[in-house]
Structure 1
Amino acid sequence: MILVKRLLIFIAIALPAVLVAQVGDTLVPLRYNRALMYREASQPLQPQTGSRDLITTQNGLDYIFAFDTMHLPFIDDFSTDKQKIYNYDLTQPGVDTVIDYNFLVNGVYMDYLEGIDTQSFDLTYNVNLQKWDSIANPMLVVIHYEDPDNFYLPTDTDTVWLRPNGYINNGSFVPNGIPADTVFYNKADTLYRIPDDNYSLWTDSYTYINNTFGIDPPTIGVATFDGLSLYGAPYHQTLSNSNEYGSADTLSSKPIYLKTKPTGTGTYNNSDSLYLSFYYQPRGRGEKPDEEDSLVLEFYSPTLQDWTQMWSATGGDTKPFQQVMVSINDTNYFQDGFRFRFRNKATITGNLDHWHIDYVRLDDGRSYADTIIDDVAFVDQATSLLQTYTQVPWAHFKASPNTLMKSQSTAQINNNSSNSKLVNFSLQVDEDGTNIYTSGLSVVPNFAPTTLQNQDFDLENFVFPTTNNDSTHAFNVKYVLNTTPDFNRDNDTAFWYQQFKQAYAYDDGSAELAYSLQGANAELAYEFDPLVTDDSLRGVYIFFPRIYENVTSLPIRFMVWSDISTNDILYLGGSELPSYSQDRDIFVRYEFDKPIAITDKFYIGFRQTYSDNVYIGFDANTNHQDKIFYNVGTGWMSTLYEGSLMIRPDFGNGYDPYPVGAEEIVHAENVNVYPNPAHDVVNIVGVNLNGTYAVYNIQGQLMETGKLDGSTTSIDVAEWEKGFYVIQVMQENSEPEAHKIVIN
């Protein structure tokens, strides 16, 4: 699926690289990658640049992370994440301690050594002969270890003799009277050596391994390069220069044997025809890299101890994945400890300038024409077995389980081989770790060579069982293909985690872009058709992504319509501030101040107060553009953008461990507070008001109190800071009422 099937128009605004602009709504790149912000991998403070182990410090302790040197072939199609995870847990198996020292003397540790550059002699007094005898001191070999990155490798050697124990002066022995030519001081440090994981292929984890950003890759999963660090934040955090440019992500291979063959029968040379190949794609479903942006391939020579650029590509718009073949024919690289790495240069202030690589292969016995892989593979992530939605409330599904089930599901398969293939397909469903369904085999006897096609999986009237009585439930869905021979089995399975919570969802949980409206009082409506018509809507889940502008001070009012064509409004909430999620769940839940009875199709969205854009997450992998509508004052229009908004109407009970703002009290009909938002004056209006009022800021601090006076009480707010406030109205013989207002 191409993200936008029309001419891309770029406009100059405060945000860099607006993807698409049209009157009313817009798409822009994200600034952060929420999928990486809670990554458990810990990256060392400094990258590993040489061909041996990595030494780093964490929490005051010194660590050595061992890297096993690999034999050919090197293959990674990124269907799984094989980047190095740096686990600093000292209780894991295989951890041992290593002593780091500055020098050894004849292989023995000494705290210090006083040496003489020439042959030295110690003196001893011979009582029988009544004279001093001289005894030659043995030669000492001092081996130095002073490379901080390779402390176990000798850096220099000295030959010395021990300083003599003294000398004779006028017939008398003078102890220790000869000064040393050289004094060596030693320091022993304890390091903790962490063994290799025997799984990873790369020594860093700066790239994003995913199956959503690439468009039609050779196999499922790509490594995405952007302007973000391994934890999903921009490399350059300062917003004063949103176009800061520089080196960004790096993907470095482990050390590789390119001298010693795995059989031990010889060494590699040009006659072995070594080639490194990979596929790459600019942009994909992300943001287009500019002309000055680049993707670079570099080789490391243990002999030269340096990296050399071997290939590069400059930025541009999306194009199909292209394979690159690079010959290894320089004797400087036929060494054990050879490495290669990919790097990108980009705008390092956000999730920008995307490159994606796939199917990296390094092996011998290849040629420049060796571009075909005998591999049949899934291309995209698996999809939901539900029609229309990716998620529905568990209680709603249980009420009508057959309504939403697909009769068949579809997955994209790629035959990378040059031969027709006999391929079997099946689908499996697990519940609570137990297989509850396995489909019959679907057989494609002649899957055409080098083709990408959709494969249907017949569900044979399967319906998710509804015996579980919890409020939420989930199933694991697995798509499986099988063919023989097959070069790589890792990409023969695709997964979908089918969740049933308490909300409806069109999106797949990943955001590739951010969507917004332009204009004060602009309205956004998202269409949903529920399975049941006797439940009440209680809130909404929404993902506000962090971009270049902070939207948390831009008030919105959540709305629900039964029909937008007639402007039939079921709910218009008070002003709320967008909030960024602080935990692993990217969605934030907003509770409505009253349940909204839903009897048919409905629309949920919001009205923004100012002309400033309020950005929400946009999933470019699931397309429900026919459900997205906006009104900027000229009537309701459909969006032109293919994708899904990350807005989920919630029918649950409203429990939220991370509530947004203060709960509003439903106020009586005879009290009104206006204007809202306000700038100079706020009026409390009612019939025969008799009591007091109190104003609190968002931190709960009391700002002002006063008496209610008849039908109208005015409060001067001209000097108040912008933000949310709560006005508490307390009348005689009546419950206190809270009115949330915004001062702009």
Structure 2
Amino acid sequence: MSGRRVKILGASVFMVLCLLLGMPRSVVCGQVVDTVDLPFFDDFSGPFHTPYAGYWVLREDVDCGEQVAIAPPTTGVAIFDALRGDGSFHLQHGAVGNACDTLVSRPLRLIGSDSVYLSFQFQPQGRGGQPQPADVLVVDFFDPVSRKWSEVWRASFDANAQQVSQHYAYSDGKVRTVSQKAPDLSQRFVKAHIPVVLPYRVLGFQFRFHNFVQVSKDTQLPGRQANTGHWSVDMVYVNAGRNAGDTVYVDDVACVGNLDGLRLPYQQIPYALATPWLVQLESNPSKYLHTQFVNLSSDVRVVGREFRIKDASGTLPVVGSSRPYFVPVNPGATEKFQRTYSYQWGALAGRAVDVTIEANLKVDMAANLAPFLWNDTVRQRVRFADVYAYDTGVPDNGYGIDGLSTAKACVAMRFEPIAAGTIDRVQVYFNPIVDLTSRTRFEIVFFNERNGQPGDELYAQMCDPPKAFEKDKPFVEYVLSSSVGFDEPVYVGLRQTKADMMQIGIDLHTPTPSRIVYNAVGTWGESRYKGALMIRLACSQGGSTPRVTGCDVESRIALRVFPNPARARVSVQGAPDGCVVELYSMLGEQVCSVRAEGEIVEMEVDGFPRGVYLVVVRGERNGILASERLVLL
């Protein structure tokens, strides 16, 4: 760090020039980092993957979200673990005393402030990895005059006793320890309250969070050397005029939990198969969106909800909404809320869908102003692409089997088809480990279902694991050498070739969990973890591919359907000889099928109900070659 003296109101004040490389240009004034006025508040609820750059100068290694925390005070937390922002490890295995994630505040303007406190809430482990005794969370204060960081607080967690200990360090060298025990403390948030005293109560004061993690030393089982020691932090609040016992931190109303909107069997569904759900959503007269929020203030607040639905893919200028309805909410109370809504879901049939549903709070004041910028909004993203996916795309932890007699151990998950088809690709999220080169080959395995568990083996393929982790492309896709029929439930899993834990991601808070089973010693058992392994089944050309006889075309074709809209007859141009041209209703039912012979295929549609249909051209080897939406008048 370096610094210089600048004149402010005639006084010579030492300004800290700190960590400029991590700052966006908009918050850098010359060579001096801009200061932030009180109150400082961040509950990490913004639409960002890392903490907000306007509040924090070093933040790239800290993730934001809810995938690890259990029942956070408001939507969103900051997550501290053993990984850098790019997914690599901060430290080598077995290392002790190495700081991992670091989150540094921008300088605060504390001149003339009195009774200043930093408060926040934190949770050890949650759904993540259990902190060991040496895996601590630390808070340091920065003195702009001496240009030194000093530890003022740390927390440790005893998992066996379910006890959290907070250690407060004072300027006189004394340390005060406050401990708290509860049977489920790893699932609760604990409050911390730290006074900001001299010499820190000056212009340019900063604070930082950082954690220490010790990864397993077991080099014989490198699969165990994975991300662990999770801490979640929420409700970071700095202000003057506070005291050691204050409980009402902020005058705010905030969202709690996720938006409970569309309830589908999967988080993602192949879009060619999504029509029945889209039609049902549009025709349902009692469609509800559910949310909940909490009144954090000491006064009764009048709160309402407003929903907005947007087509994020930009293919349709369709916006759904609902008018707000206001209700009074008592101090400290958490209220559930539901509203009906309208949206043209049927208009999205037959195409890739990327829709975002937003629920916004409306409160009894002119605006929910800074510093409470984002906790009044929750979102749900709805996507229909080309995969069956139970997971939300973000892992809570890693899942695997190790120990004696596990060289052929297998973990699997149940998938049920929406419509008969074939699967030609499998996508897997491998949890990061310290030594990526230690991973060994494995098999992708398909089983049929017998008596509620995996039965006969349908297909197996040997695969190589990834030797690197790409955070922007976390799923590794494996193309099957032969397509696998998918017209009834199957179990899809990974089988080890060595007695080492092959860690794959597991999503423990997905709204669409599946049945997870494992086989280590010759018999199948059901996992005690409820969620979804991050294994996805990918379908060719945007949808499941039913096995049909027909042409042998090696690439996707250009398709023309005319007239469109149509009334009595439709012409389809571009379907090669021998292919099958099919017409599907919005309910997913095949209403017409014609084998292609010649340049143009004619389809009689007179008498079919008006609405949106899907024209599909299929081949034997490569399934759906082309599809086009058709409107019948």
| In structure 2, distance between residues paired with 1:632 and 1:399 | 39
In the superposition, relative to structure 1, how do residues 299 and 323 fare at CA in structure 2: closer, same or farther (>3 Å)?
A: same
Query: How far off its partner does 1:654 sit?
Result: 9.3
Aligned pairs (5 A) from 1:122-201? 199-201=54-56
Q: Match of 1:273?
A: 115
> What is the CA deviation profile of residues 663-682 of structure 1, one whole-angstrom value per residue up to 9, with x for unaligned ones?
xxxxxxxxxxxxxxxxxxxx
Query: Which residue identity lines up with residue 395 of structure 1 in the other structure?
Result: A
492-501 or 362-371: bigger deviation: 362-371
Q: Match of 1:513?
A: 397
| In structure 1, distance between residues paired with 2:255 and 2:98 | 35
Q: Match of 2:443?
A: 556
Q: Match of 2:479?
A: 591
Q: Secondary structure at the match of 1:401?
A: helix
Q: Secondary structure at the match of 1:337?
A: coil
TM-score with structure 1 length normalisation? 0.58
Q: Match of 1:464?
A: 345
Q: Match of 1:391?
A: 268
Tell me if 1:498 matches 2:365.
no
> What is the CA deviation profile of residues 307-350 of structure 1, one whole-angstrom value per residue up to 9, with x for unaligned ones?
333322222451422222223342x2332222222232322675
Query: How far off its partner does 1:635 sit?
Result: 3.2
| In structure 1, distance between residues paired with 2:49 and 2:142 | 20
> What is the CA deviation profile of residues 224-244 of structure 1, one whole-angstrom value per residue up to 9, with x for unaligned ones?
2222334332221x34xx343
| In structure 2, distance between residues paired with 1:612 and 1:350 | 12
Aligned pairs (5 A) from 1:55-134? 66-80=32-46, 81=48
Q: Match of 1:608?
A: 496
Query: How far off its partner does 1:645 sit?
Result: 0.7
Q: In 2, are the aligned partners of 1:556 and 1:575 still within 8 Å (CA)?
A: yes
Q: In 2, are the aligned partners of 1:402 and 1:463 still within 8 Å (CA)?
A: no
Q: CA RMSD in A?
A: 3.4
TM-score with structure 2 length normalisation? 0.67
Match of 2:309 among 415, 420, 429: 429
Aligned pairs (5 A) from 1:405-416? 407-416=287-296
Tell me if 1:284 matches 2:126.
yes
> What is the CA deviation profile of residues 231-289 of structure 1, one whole-angstrom value per residue up to 9, with x for unaligned ones?
332221x34xx343322232222122222xxxxxxx34xxx332222222222222222
Tell me if 1:321 matches 2:180.
no
| In structure 1, distance between residues paired with 2:533 and 2:325 | 37
Q: Match of 1:375?
A: 252
Q: Match of 2:631?
A: none
| In structure 1, distance between residues paired with 2:135 and 2:205 | 27
In the superposition, relative to structure 1, how do residues 206 and 590 fare at CA in structure 2: closer, same or farther (>3 Å)?
A: closer
Tell me if 1:297 matches 2:139.
yes
Runs of 5+ consecutive residues of structure 1 not aligned to the other structure: 1-45, 86-196, 260-266, 656-744
Q: In 1, are the aligned partners of 2:226 and 2:432 still within 8 Å (CA)?
A: no
| In structure 2, distance between residues paired with 1:560 and 1:48 | 65
Identity of aligned residues (%): 26
Q: Match of 1:339?
A: 206
Q: Match of 1:214?
A: 69
Structure with greater Cα Rg: 1
In the superposition, relative to structure 1, how do residues 65 and 295 fare at CA in structure 2: closer, same or farther (>3 Å)?
A: farther
Query: How far off its partner does 1:621 sit?
Result: 1.5
| In structure 1, distance between residues paired with 2:460 and 2:70 | 40
Q: In 2, are the aligned partners of 1:562 and 1:570 still within 8 Å (CA)?
A: no
Q: In 2, are the aligned partners of 1:419 and 1:448 still within 8 Å (CA)?
A: yes
Tell me if 1:652 matches 2:540.
yes
| In structure 2, distance between residues paired with 1:632 and 1:355 | 32
In the superposition, relative to structure 1, how do residues 610 and 303 fare at CA in structure 2: closer, same or farther (>3 Å)?
A: closer
| In structure 1, distance between residues paired with 2:147 and 2:458 | 67
> What is the CA deviation profile of residues 198-236 of structure 1, one whole-angstrom value per residue up to 9, with x for unaligned ones?
x34434433222232222222222112222334332221
| In structure 2, distance between residues paired with 1:47 and 1:235 | 26
Q: Secondary structure at the match of 2:346?
A: coil
Q: In 1, are the aligned partners of 2:424 and 2:480 still within 8 Å (CA)?
A: yes
Q: In 2, are the aligned partners of 1:290 and 1:353 still within 8 Å (CA)?
A: yes
Q: Match of 1:113?
A: none
Q: In 1, are the aligned partners of 2:308 and 2:322 still within 8 Å (CA)?
A: no
Q: In 2, are the aligned partners of 1:288 and 1:316 still within 8 Å (CA)?
A: no
Q: In 2, are the aligned partners of 1:563 and 1:602 still within 8 Å (CA)?
A: no
Q: In 1, are the aligned partners of 2:264 and 2:512 still within 8 Å (CA)?
A: no
Equivalenced residues, count: 477
Tell me if 1:538 matches 2:424.
yes
| In structure 1, distance between residues paired with 2:21 and 2:529 | 47
The ranges of structure 1 where at least 4 consecutive aligned residues each deviate by more than 6 angstroms after the TM superposition are: 46-50, 55-58, 82-85
In the superposition, relative to structure 1, how do residues 200 and 419 fare at CA in structure 2: closer, same or farther (>3 Å)?
A: closer
Q: Secondary structure at the match of 1:530?
A: coil
In the superposition, relative to structure 1, how do residues 622 and 463 fare at CA in structure 2: closer, same or farther (>3 Å)?
A: farther
Q: Match of 1:35?
A: none
> What is the CA deviation profile of residues 579-633 of structure 1, one whole-angstrom value per residue up to 9, with x for unaligned ones?
3554622111222222223223332224333433322110122165552122334
Runs of 5+ consecutive residues of structure 2 not aligned to the other structure: 5-13, 23-28, 160-185, 216-224, 544-633
Query: How far off its partner does 1:390 sit?
Result: 0.9
Q: In 2, are the aligned partners of 1:48 and 1:203 still within 8 Å (CA)?
A: no
Query: How far off its partner does 1:511 sit?
Result: 0.8
Q: Match of 2:526?
A: 638
Q: Match of 2:173?
A: none
Q: In 2, are the aligned partners of 1:625 and 1:640 still within 8 Å (CA)?
A: no
Q: In 2, are the aligned partners of 1:426 and 1:438 still within 8 Å (CA)?
A: no
Q: Match of 1:574?
A: 461
Q: In 1, are the aligned partners of 2:107 and 2:204 still within 8 Å (CA)?
A: yes
Q: Match of 1:205?
A: 60
Query: How far off its partner does 1:444 sit?
Result: 6.0
Query: How far off its partner does 1:503 sit?
Result: 1.0
Tell me if 1:362 matches 2:238.
yes
Query: How far off its partner does 1:66 sit?
Result: 4.1
